[in-house]
Amino acid sequence: MKTRFRHVAAEDAARSTNLGLAQQRRFSPGGDVVEYAATLEGSVSDPSGYDMICRFRRDNDSFEMWFVARFGASPSAGSGTWTLTLPFPLLATISADCPLGIWRAKRASPSTAAWGPIMRSTDSAITFEYPSAAPTGTPTYVGSAAPWAWTTSDSIGGHLSACIDRTV
């Protein structure tokens, strides 16, 4: 006579709760949108005088992030190419040449906009790329003077989704 094993959702829920209480669950349940203190960094000197709003949501081995930086009354764009710090290390094998999301910058005066793909800069930072001549051209990176000289009320924001490197 064969023994039959039955699987019910209530048993799964109890098992999961007990693993959580014993702190043996591998990943946090995730799903909550959490505030993150991201920073813009310049390759030569860092920009300053901006307000950053950044949120992320983790889902096991991946995360989504939303951000916007708005320049205030006395901004400094720093110098060099900009990068933005991330809450988790990127899985390099997947993110090396793959756009992770999209960014959009808006100039207050004259009213102008620019956008392009968000690309991996390092395992812990992203950069903002756009073609030198639309729709194609040499990759150009957002920085202190690109796509324009940044000033009061200019902003840059975006959304990305990426895999987390669990080996770091």
Give pLDDT tens digits for 18-42.
Answer: 555 554 444 445 678 999 999 999 9
Separation between Cα atoms, residue 2 and residue 40, nearest integer Å: 63
For 123, the 3-state DSSP assignment is coil
Alpha helix (H) residue ranges in the chain: 9-21, 92-95
Q: What is the pLDDT of residue 26?
A: 47
Question: What are the pLDDT digits (tens) for 128-158?
Answer: 999 887 777 888 999 999 999 999 999 999 9
Higher pLDDT, 7 or 88: 88
Q: Average of pLDDT values for 118-122?
A: 93
φ, ψ for residue 12, nearest 5 deg: -60, -45
Q: Classify 31-163 by CATH class.
A: mainly beta
pTM: 0.78
Q: What is the pLDDT of residue 4?
A: 52
DSSP 13: H
List Cα–Cα distances, 88 to 16, 30, 66, 91, 126, in angstroms. 25, 14, 14, 9, 11
| Burial call 121-138: b when 16+ CB within 10 Å, e when fewer | beeebbbbbbeeeeeeee
